[in-house]
Amino acid sequence: MDKVLVALGVGFVFWCIGDAIVRIIRTSKGSGGGKRLEQKVLDLESDLANVEQDLEDAKERIVVLEKIVTDERRDLRRQIDDLAN
């Protein structure tokens, strides 16, 4: 469960940083930033979307791993296999 909280915290930090960068660039764009800044904003938004997707994927993997680790039947099967050896 701690890993999930850490993953959520890291994701939140990335989101905050990305959001701040996007806001700064959008503000600059309003003061004559031009097409170059507009492209940077689009690139940053794309990168942020990728980071958000990676975070979602990581959360799903953590949930699966926690289920595997805490699965009592799996543990019992492992213990039986150990006794057989």
| Residues found in the chain | 85
CA distance 52 to 44: 12
Q: Which pLDDT value is given to residue 30?
A: 61
Q: Convert the pLDDT of each residue in 51-67 to its tens digit.
A: 999 999 999 998 888 87
| Cα–Cα distance list, 83 to 76, 77, 79 (Å) | 11, 10, 6
pLDDT tens track, the chain, 85 positions: 677 777 777 888 888 888 888 888 777 666 555 677 788 888 999 999 999 999 999 999 988 888 777 777 667 777 778 777 7
CA distance 68 to 1: 13
* Domain range list for the chain: 2-84
